[in-house]
Amino acid sequence: MLALGKLLELTLAGREPATKIQVTTEGTRLRWLAEGALEVTPPAGKDNGLDLLLSAGVHGNETAPIELLDRLLHGIARGEIKPRVRILILFGNPQAIRQGERYVEQDLNRLFNGRHEQAEGFEAIRASELEHLASAFFREPERSRLHYDLHTAIRGSKIEQFAIYPWAEGRSHSQRELQRLNAGGIDAVLLQRKGSITFSAFTYETLNAEAFTLELGKARAFGENQLVNLDLLEARIQQIIEGQEPEDEPVGLDGLQVFRVSREVIKRSDAFKLHLPDDIENFSELPLGYLLAEDAGGATWVIEKGERVIFPNPAVKNGLRAAILIVPSNAADLL
Protein backbone atom coordinates (compact mmCIF):
# COMPACT_ATOMS: atom_id res chain seq x y z
CA MET A 1 0.00 0.00 0.00
CA LEU A 2 1.20 3.51 -0.79
CA ALA A 3 2.49 5.39 2.24
CA LEU A 4 0.12 8.31 1.65
CA GLY A 5 -2.76 5.88 2.08
CA LYS A 6 -1.81 5.89 5.76
CA LEU A 7 -3.06 9.44 6.27
CA LEU A 8 -4.60 8.58 9.62
CA GLU A 9 -1.33 7.13 10.91
CA LEU A 10 0.51 10.27 9.80
CA THR A 11 -2.11 12.45 11.45
CA LEU A 12 -2.06 10.54 14.74
CA ALA A 13 1.73 10.73 14.79
CA GLY A 14 1.77 14.42 13.86
CA ARG A 15 4.18 13.67 11.00
CA GLU A 16 4.56 15.23 7.57
CA PRO A 17 5.33 12.68 4.83
CA ALA A 18 8.67 12.95 3.04
CA THR A 19 6.97 12.24 -0.29
CA LYS A 20 3.98 14.48 -1.04
CA ILE A 21 2.74 12.78 -4.24
CA GLN A 22 2.33 9.07 -5.02
CA VAL A 23 0.62 7.25 -7.88
CA THR A 24 -0.99 3.79 -7.83
CA THR A 25 -0.27 1.25 -10.54
CA GLU A 26 -3.64 2.13 -12.10
CA GLY A 27 -2.71 5.83 -12.28
CA THR A 28 -4.66 7.23 -9.32
CA ARG A 29 -2.72 10.12 -7.79
CA LEU A 30 -2.55 10.79 -4.04
CA ARG A 31 -1.31 14.25 -2.99
CA TRP A 32 -0.68 15.35 0.60
CA LEU A 33 -1.83 18.97 1.00
CA ALA A 34 -1.57 19.71 4.73
CA GLU A 35 -1.94 17.95 8.05
CA GLY A 36 -4.91 15.60 7.77
CA ALA A 37 -5.58 16.61 4.15
CA LEU A 38 -5.17 14.39 1.08
CA GLU A 39 -6.33 14.91 -2.50
CA VAL A 40 -7.11 11.92 -4.72
CA THR A 41 -7.20 12.34 -8.51
CA PRO A 42 -8.46 9.53 -10.78
CA PRO A 43 -6.40 8.30 -13.74
CA ALA A 44 -6.47 10.28 -16.98
CA GLY A 45 -9.70 9.71 -18.88
CA LYS A 46 -11.52 8.16 -15.91
CA ASP A 47 -12.86 11.33 -14.23
CA ASN A 48 -16.69 11.53 -14.31
CA GLY A 49 -16.90 15.18 -13.28
CA LEU A 50 -17.69 14.92 -9.56
CA ASP A 51 -15.66 16.58 -6.80
CA LEU A 52 -16.27 14.68 -3.54
CA LEU A 53 -15.20 16.12 -0.19
CA LEU A 54 -15.20 13.62 2.68
CA SER A 55 -14.47 15.04 6.13
CA ALA A 56 -14.40 13.45 9.58
CA GLY A 57 -12.84 14.24 12.92
CA VAL A 58 -14.04 17.85 13.02
CA HIS A 59 -14.81 16.67 16.55
CA GLY A 60 -11.75 14.69 17.58
CA ASN A 61 -13.49 12.02 19.68
CA GLU A 62 -15.92 10.94 16.94
CA THR A 63 -13.89 8.03 15.68
CA ALA A 64 -16.25 5.77 13.70
CA PRO A 65 -16.33 8.17 10.71
CA ILE A 66 -12.54 8.59 10.89
CA GLU A 67 -12.15 4.81 10.70
CA LEU A 68 -14.58 4.69 7.76
CA LEU A 69 -12.53 7.21 5.75
CA ASP A 70 -9.34 5.36 6.73
CA ARG A 71 -10.75 2.11 5.30
CA LEU A 72 -11.77 3.82 2.04
CA LEU A 73 -8.38 5.47 1.64
CA HIS A 74 -6.57 2.18 2.30
CA GLY A 75 -8.67 0.59 -0.46
CA ILE A 76 -7.73 3.39 -2.86
CA ALA A 77 -4.03 3.22 -1.97
CA ARG A 78 -3.99 -0.55 -2.51
CA GLY A 79 -5.72 -0.23 -5.88
CA GLU A 80 -8.78 -2.13 -4.64
CA ILE A 81 -11.03 0.94 -4.99
CA LYS A 82 -10.66 2.63 -8.38
CA PRO A 83 -11.79 6.27 -8.23
CA ARG A 84 -13.62 7.98 -11.04
CA VAL A 85 -14.11 11.18 -9.03
CA ARG A 86 -11.78 13.74 -7.50
CA ILE A 87 -11.70 13.34 -3.72
CA LEU A 88 -10.53 15.53 -0.86
CA ILE A 89 -10.20 13.65 2.43
CA LEU A 90 -9.98 15.83 5.52
CA PHE A 91 -9.39 14.83 9.13
CA GLY A 92 -10.75 18.05 10.55
CA ASN A 93 -9.17 18.56 13.98
CA PRO A 94 -5.88 16.63 14.15
CA GLN A 95 -4.86 17.88 17.58
CA ALA A 96 -8.21 16.92 19.12
CA ILE A 97 -8.07 13.53 17.36
CA ARG A 98 -4.67 12.86 18.92
CA GLN A 99 -5.99 13.85 22.35
CA GLY A 100 -9.24 11.89 21.98
CA GLU A 101 -11.22 15.03 22.81
CA ARG A 102 -14.16 16.73 21.13
CA TYR A 103 -12.07 19.89 20.74
CA VAL A 104 -8.94 21.52 22.19
CA GLU A 105 -10.07 25.08 22.96
CA GLN A 106 -13.41 25.61 21.24
CA ASP A 107 -15.88 23.75 19.04
CA LEU A 108 -14.38 23.72 15.54
CA ASN A 109 -17.78 23.07 13.97
CA ARG A 110 -19.03 26.46 15.18
CA LEU A 111 -16.26 28.47 13.49
CA PHE A 112 -17.11 28.43 9.79
CA ASN A 113 -18.68 30.96 7.42
CA GLY A 114 -16.40 33.65 8.79
CA ARG A 115 -16.94 32.96 12.49
CA HIS A 116 -13.24 32.02 12.89
CA GLU A 117 -12.36 35.65 12.13
CA GLN A 118 -13.97 36.59 15.45
CA ALA A 119 -12.06 33.95 17.43
CA GLU A 120 -8.51 33.04 18.42
CA GLY A 121 -6.60 29.84 19.00
CA PHE A 122 -5.91 26.52 17.34
CA GLU A 123 -9.45 25.75 16.17
CA ALA A 124 -9.93 29.22 14.66
CA ILE A 125 -6.76 28.77 12.59
CA ARG A 126 -7.82 25.27 11.55
CA ALA A 127 -11.31 26.44 10.49
CA SER A 128 -9.71 29.02 8.21
CA GLU A 129 -7.39 26.37 6.77
CA LEU A 130 -10.26 23.96 6.13
CA GLU A 131 -12.21 26.70 4.37
CA HIS A 132 -9.22 27.42 2.12
CA LEU A 133 -8.68 23.72 1.37
CA ALA A 134 -12.36 23.23 0.48
CA SER A 135 -12.46 26.41 -1.63
CA ALA A 136 -9.37 25.38 -3.59
CA PHE A 137 -10.77 21.88 -4.12
CA PHE A 138 -14.13 23.15 -5.39
CA ARG A 139 -12.45 25.55 -7.79
CA GLU A 140 -13.88 24.37 -11.12
CA PRO A 141 -17.39 25.85 -11.60
CA GLU A 142 -18.57 23.35 -14.21
CA ARG A 143 -18.05 20.27 -12.01
CA SER A 144 -20.55 18.68 -9.59
CA ARG A 145 -19.78 19.21 -5.88
CA LEU A 146 -20.68 16.95 -2.98
CA HIS A 147 -19.60 17.13 0.66
CA TYR A 148 -20.28 14.62 3.44
CA ASP A 149 -19.14 15.84 6.86
CA LEU A 150 -19.23 12.71 9.00
CA HIS A 151 -19.94 12.85 12.73
CA THR A 152 -21.16 10.83 15.68
CA ALA A 153 -23.23 12.29 18.53
CA ILE A 154 -22.40 12.90 22.19
CA ARG A 155 -25.47 10.94 23.28
CA GLY A 156 -27.65 8.10 22.09
CA SER A 157 -30.43 8.67 19.58
CA LYS A 158 -33.85 7.24 18.84
CA ILE A 159 -32.88 7.64 15.17
CA GLU A 160 -29.24 6.66 15.03
CA GLN A 161 -28.21 7.70 11.52
CA PHE A 162 -29.54 10.99 10.18
CA ALA A 163 -28.56 13.88 7.94
CA ILE A 164 -28.66 17.62 8.53
CA TYR A 165 -29.39 19.48 5.30
CA PRO A 166 -28.13 23.10 5.35
CA TRP A 167 -30.12 26.08 4.09
CA ALA A 168 -29.27 28.82 1.63
CA GLU A 169 -31.41 31.49 0.01
CA GLY A 170 -32.79 30.31 -3.31
CA ARG A 171 -31.46 26.74 -3.05
CA SER A 172 -33.81 23.77 -3.41
CA HIS A 173 -33.33 20.30 -1.99
CA SER A 174 -31.72 17.70 -4.24
CA GLN A 175 -33.88 14.62 -4.63
CA ARG A 176 -30.94 12.71 -6.07
CA GLU A 177 -28.74 13.39 -3.05
CA LEU A 178 -31.52 12.46 -0.64
CA GLN A 179 -32.04 9.19 -2.51
CA ARG A 180 -28.32 8.49 -2.20
CA LEU A 181 -28.46 9.02 1.54
CA ASN A 182 -31.59 6.91 1.89
CA ALA A 183 -29.89 4.06 0.03
CA GLY A 184 -26.85 4.53 2.29
CA GLY A 185 -28.77 3.75 5.47
CA ILE A 186 -29.64 7.30 6.52
CA ASP A 187 -33.04 7.06 8.22
CA ALA A 188 -33.98 10.73 8.61
CA VAL A 189 -33.17 14.18 7.30
CA LEU A 190 -33.35 17.40 9.30
CA LEU A 191 -34.03 20.51 7.22
CA GLN A 192 -32.33 23.68 8.39
CA ARG A 193 -34.31 26.93 8.05
CA LYS A 194 -31.52 29.49 8.28
CA GLY A 195 -27.81 29.88 7.67
CA SER A 196 -25.33 28.20 9.98
CA ILE A 197 -21.66 28.24 11.01
CA THR A 198 -20.90 24.53 10.56
CA PHE A 199 -18.49 23.07 8.00
CA SER A 200 -21.24 21.61 5.79
CA ALA A 201 -23.12 24.93 5.93
CA PHE A 202 -19.98 26.67 4.64
CA THR A 203 -19.56 24.36 1.65
CA TYR A 204 -23.32 24.50 0.93
CA GLU A 205 -23.90 28.23 1.38
CA THR A 206 -20.55 29.65 0.25
CA LEU A 207 -19.15 27.07 -2.18
CA ASN A 208 -22.48 25.94 -3.69
CA ALA A 209 -21.83 22.25 -3.02
CA GLU A 210 -24.48 19.72 -2.11
CA ALA A 211 -23.49 19.21 1.51
CA PHE A 212 -24.70 17.31 4.56
CA THR A 213 -23.69 16.78 8.14
CA LEU A 214 -24.17 13.06 8.71
CA GLU A 215 -24.70 11.83 12.29
CA LEU A 216 -23.76 8.17 12.48
CA GLY A 217 -24.33 6.88 15.98
CA LYS A 218 -22.71 7.60 19.32
CA ALA A 219 -19.14 8.83 19.84
CA ARG A 220 -16.75 6.11 21.00
CA ALA A 221 -12.99 5.63 21.19
CA PHE A 222 -10.90 4.13 18.39
CA GLY A 223 -11.47 0.39 18.14
CA GLU A 224 -14.76 0.50 20.07
CA ASN A 225 -17.18 1.13 17.20
CA GLN A 226 -18.49 -2.40 16.71
CA LEU A 227 -22.02 -1.24 17.56
CA VAL A 228 -21.97 1.40 14.80
CA ASN A 229 -22.99 -0.32 11.57
CA LEU A 230 -21.92 1.88 8.66
CA ASP A 231 -21.88 -0.87 6.04
CA LEU A 232 -24.62 0.67 3.88
CA LEU A 233 -23.10 4.13 3.94
CA GLU A 234 -19.59 2.85 3.29
CA ALA A 235 -20.82 0.79 0.35
CA ARG A 236 -22.69 3.78 -1.09
CA ILE A 237 -19.70 6.11 -0.76
CA GLN A 238 -17.51 3.51 -2.46
CA GLN A 239 -20.05 3.26 -5.29
CA ILE A 240 -19.98 7.06 -5.66
CA ILE A 241 -16.16 7.02 -5.73
CA GLU A 242 -16.07 4.30 -8.38
CA GLY A 243 -19.01 5.65 -10.41
CA GLN A 244 -20.81 2.34 -9.85
CA GLU A 245 -24.15 3.36 -8.36
CA PRO A 246 -26.97 1.03 -9.47
CA GLU A 247 -28.74 2.34 -12.56
CA ASP A 248 -31.96 0.41 -11.87
CA GLU A 249 -32.29 1.66 -8.29
CA PRO A 250 -35.89 2.54 -7.30
CA VAL A 251 -36.50 6.30 -7.39
CA GLY A 252 -38.08 7.59 -4.20
CA LEU A 253 -37.62 8.46 -0.58
CA ASP A 254 -39.72 5.73 1.04
CA GLY A 255 -38.79 5.27 4.67
CA LEU A 256 -36.86 8.54 4.96
CA GLN A 257 -38.24 10.52 7.89
CA VAL A 258 -38.30 14.29 7.49
CA PHE A 259 -38.02 16.89 10.26
CA ARG A 260 -37.73 20.66 10.19
CA VAL A 261 -36.13 22.95 12.72
CA SER A 262 -38.69 24.58 14.96
CA ARG A 263 -36.34 26.65 17.12
CA GLU A 264 -32.82 26.81 18.45
CA VAL A 265 -32.20 27.21 22.17
CA ILE A 266 -29.31 29.64 22.63
CA LYS A 267 -27.32 29.81 25.84
CA ARG A 268 -27.13 33.54 26.64
CA SER A 269 -25.43 33.58 30.03
CA ASP A 270 -23.83 31.56 32.83
CA ALA A 271 -27.27 31.44 34.47
CA PHE A 272 -28.50 29.06 31.75
CA LYS A 273 -30.22 25.86 32.92
CA LEU A 274 -31.44 23.09 30.65
CA HIS A 275 -34.19 21.03 32.27
CA LEU A 276 -33.49 17.68 30.63
CA PRO A 277 -32.10 14.39 31.98
CA ASP A 278 -28.40 13.90 31.30
CA ASP A 279 -29.12 10.68 29.41
CA ILE A 280 -31.95 11.97 27.20
CA GLU A 281 -31.67 10.70 23.62
CA ASN A 282 -31.78 12.74 20.45
CA PHE A 283 -35.28 12.85 18.89
CA SER A 284 -36.98 12.49 22.28
CA GLU A 285 -40.46 14.03 22.13
CA LEU A 286 -41.26 16.64 24.77
CA PRO A 287 -44.73 17.29 26.24
CA LEU A 288 -46.57 20.45 25.28
CA GLY A 289 -45.99 23.17 27.91
CA TYR A 290 -42.76 21.61 29.23
CA LEU A 291 -40.26 24.06 30.76
CA LEU A 292 -37.19 23.29 28.69
CA ALA A 293 -34.69 25.94 29.68
CA GLU A 294 -34.18 29.03 31.81
CA ASP A 295 -31.70 31.84 31.25
CA ALA A 296 -31.09 35.41 32.33
CA GLY A 297 -33.38 36.61 29.54
CA GLY A 298 -36.31 34.34 30.36
CA ALA A 299 -37.58 30.80 29.87
CA THR A 300 -38.08 28.45 26.92
CA TRP A 301 -41.22 26.32 26.84
CA VAL A 302 -42.38 23.58 24.48
CA ILE A 303 -45.05 25.38 22.46
CA GLU A 304 -45.62 23.12 19.45
CA LYS A 305 -47.16 19.67 19.57
CA GLY A 306 -44.70 16.93 18.65
CA GLU A 307 -41.57 18.98 19.31
CA ARG A 308 -38.47 16.86 19.81
CA VAL A 309 -35.01 17.76 21.01
CA ILE A 310 -31.63 17.03 19.43
CA PHE A 311 -28.09 17.96 20.47
CA PRO A 312 -28.92 19.16 24.00
CA ASN A 313 -25.69 20.41 25.55
CA PRO A 314 -25.80 22.97 28.39
CA ALA A 315 -21.99 23.04 28.54
CA VAL A 316 -21.60 25.08 25.33
CA LYS A 317 -20.12 28.56 25.51
CA ASN A 318 -22.42 31.56 25.89
CA GLY A 319 -23.87 32.63 22.57
CA LEU A 320 -23.96 29.13 21.09
CA ARG A 321 -26.93 26.81 20.72
CA ALA A 322 -27.59 24.48 23.63
CA ALA A 323 -30.31 22.45 21.89
CA ILE A 324 -32.38 22.28 18.72
CA LEU A 325 -36.13 21.75 18.73
CA ILE A 326 -37.52 19.97 15.69
CA VAL A 327 -40.93 18.81 14.50
CA PRO A 328 -41.93 16.04 12.10
CA SER A 329 -42.54 17.25 8.57
CA ASN A 330 -43.44 15.67 5.27
CA ALA A 331 -42.09 15.18 1.77
CA ALA A 332 -43.62 18.47 0.63
CA ASP A 333 -40.91 20.30 2.56
CA LEU A 334 -38.33 18.59 0.36
CA LEU A 335 -39.67 20.17 -2.83
The annotation status of 80 as a binding-site residue, yes or no, is no
97, 130 contact by CB (below 8 A): no
332, 194 contact by CB (below 8 A): no
The annotation status of 281 as a binding-site residue, yes or no, is no
215 assigned to active site: yes
- Residue 163: Cβ-neighbour burial (10 angstroms; 0-12, 13-18, 19+): buried
The annotation status of 173 as a binding-site residue, yes or no, is no
| Distance, CA of 198 to CA of 212 (rounded, Å) | 10
Of 134, 122, 136, the closest CA to residue 90 belongs to 134
Q: Which of 215, 234, 242, 281 is catalytic?
A: 215
Q: How many of the other CB atoms lie within 10 Å of CB of 226?
A: 8
Q: Quickly list DSSP for 9-30.
A: HHHHHT---S--EEE-TT--EE
DSSP letter (8 states) at residue 117 = G
Active site residues: 215
Q: Which residues are annotated as a binding site for Zn(2+)?
A: 59, 62, 151
